Amino acid sequence: MDRRRLLSGAWAYSLGAAAAAADAQPVSTASSTAQAPGDRPGGRKVLRVAFPAPETGFDPVQINSDLYSSTLIAQILEAPLSYDYLAQPARLVPQTAEALPAVSADGRVFTLRIRAGIHFADDPAFKGRRRELTAADYVYSLKRYYDPQYNSSDLYLLATLKLPGLDALRERAIQTRQPFDYDTEVEGLRALDRYTLRITLGVPDPRFVYNLAAPHFSGAVAREVVEFYGRDEVSAHPVGTGAFRLKSWTRASRIVLERSPFFRGQTYAGTPADEPLQRELAADLAGQALPRVDEVVVDIVEEDQPRWLSFMQGDYAWLAVPGPMAGLAVPHGQLAPYLAKRGFRLQRQLQPDMGMSYFNMEHPLVGGYTPDKVALRRAIGLGFDGAAYIRHVLGGQAIPAQSSLSPHTSGYDPAYKSEMSDHDPARARALLDLYGWVDRDGDGWREQPDGRPLTLVMASMGSQRDRLTSEVWKRSMDRIGLRMVFEVSTWPELLKKTRTGTLMMWGFAWSAASPDGGFFLSIGYGPNASESNDARFALAAFDRLFDAQQRLPDGPQRLAAMAQARDLMVAYMPYKVHGHRIVNDLVQPGTRGYWRHPFMRDTWRFVDVSPTHARGTA
């Protein structure tokens, strides 16, 4: 999954039938290389998009599951698998692999063959040699998560699966304070020959294969590149086998990608689509050489209004309508007539994500498992005006959340109802009174049960959206007599503080990177503290249920375990989950082939823009 600042994201992947449809493939490798930029009929094509939050870098092991960096990396690096772009429900297909992996009967061994003749983009690290992609590159790329020098926040995705030999290599590097040993062969990750990759898990995970479709996690990185640039600089020098390569980067301002002349070339050959939009897109994409544009320019525009105005001036190919503009652009969920007359198109989708605020369960004020601490968190949750948040901050474009489980993923039940979505200040005040969180000195603010001052500290960023969110929180807590103040900082700094457990409360969102809902439970799994478990929730009963659902195959038994784990998270409330977004994408008249895939990040190669829409190069 990927963190998205509100957003990664989130990620955790699964597959029920790992070997099914092994011959299905939405893109076919062309025999010739892609045309060089500038040589295309009709002129140079530049795709322009806007991000509402800055990237953190281009090195998969160092980006902290950040959605925006993950999306950029996915255009450059390639995972062995991908998704059929237009298939619904989502379907895995080979990418650099020849076929979907062969999976052992016990769900522990995954073997796949990497296609010969795929090459990395040229780079000084290769010293003039043309560098072919091999199975060893995937072994190296996954081993990097175990290297202590990176302290990767995504190590848990592999560590919980106990790949034989990897933990020992990591522990040896830590104990000896020597560089991580990449050369020792281990059972967990092996290149059987130049093109055959075998991954062996210590415990079964029927859905592990989804990890192999995430370029921001399992994308191939060449060892020469990492060693040439070093840990601190490699994040600025991504070198992959994908459709694009990095041309220039102005941190937190502008990223420019260009069509890679070393890309093997692809021709779209997706499966037939059933939905009207997918049929229209499939007809437009049929037989098209990929990628369809020569350059991609990404601007970081954090404030909603400038991003919206730039889009209306034609600067960006599509835009997710900001919450404050939703009433103007999509009243009652319909495209506004003035936009329809200008030729804009609307794509409206409920997202596989969830926005939340977490309580640091190790914090002496809001953390803890005793009845009084649970009552405090429940009261805060009941006091928060979720309807006002969805209305004023998200422009009404979300549905209330009942748990951390997300739409379009396994375990989500649209009929489930819990206290999570309730707004009941009277009940909140009664809970606080019952457990001794009362105003003892008559100043209008409640104190702790032992009489000490009580101040909630919510972390925030400085954007207009964050200020609106803070206003909702402040008004909500004022109504129940809880003093709240705000610690304002940047997205990267708050991520660092989250990992070290130094924040009391903060809010953002997670976006699914696969159809498996297990990730949305992993944010409560004790061993994932400082990684996906931002709340540092640690409850043995929950951990046992999480372990059970992770090992079970898809089916009623797994769903029952997921439901029990979900209920424990609701009861203890380490997270106050607010809602699941409805994204309204406005698409420019000159943009073709775009749609927001629920899990796939490497989608820009399918998009085309008219030369008249492209407003020049960076």
pLDDT digits (tens, 9 = 90+) for 498-520: 989 999 999 999 989 899 999 99
Which residue(s) pair with 93 in the sheet?
82
Which pLDDT belongs to residue 25? 34
> What is the average pLDDT value for the chain, to the nearest integer?
91
**What is the third-level CATH fold of 353-582?**
Dipeptide-binding Protein; domain 3 (3.10.105)
Which pLDDT belongs to residue 36? 33
pLDDT digits (tens, 9 = 90+) for 598-618: 999 999 999 999 865 444 433
pLDDT digits (tens, 9 = 90+) for 124-182: 999 999 999 999 999 999 999 999 999 998 998 899 899 999 999 999 999 999 999 99
pLDDT band of residue 7 (cuts 50, 70, 90) is very low
Burial class (CB in 10 A: 0-12, 13-18, 19+), 563: middle
Quickly tell me which residue has 């309580």 as its tokens: 359
DSSP string, 261-277: TT---EEE-PPP--SHH
Over its C-alpha atoms, the chain yields an Rg (Å, rounded) of 24
pLDDT band of residue 44 (cuts 50, 70, 90) is confident
Question: What whole-number percentage of the chain has pLDDT above 90?
Answer: 84
pLDDT digits (tens, 9 = 90+) for 293-332: 999 999 999 999 999 999 999 999 999 999 889 999 999 9
Residue 22 reports pLDDT greater than 50? no
Cα–Cα distance list, 460 to 377, 467, 507, 526, 529 (Å): 19, 8, 8, 25, 21
pLDDT digits (tens, 9 = 90+) for 256-288: 999 999 999 899 987 777 788 899 999 999 999
HEC readout, 479-511: HCCCEEEEEECCHHHHHHHHHHCCCCEEEEEEE
Query: What average pLDDT score do residues 192-216 get?
Result: 95
Name the residue ranges covered by the structural domains of the chain: 353-582
Which pLDDT belongs to residue 24? 34
Written as six digits, the tokens of 81 are 């698998």
DSSP string, 304-341: HHHHHHHHHTT-SSEEEPPGGGHHHHSGGGS--HHHHH
Vertex 164, ends 184 and 544: CA angle to 5°? 150
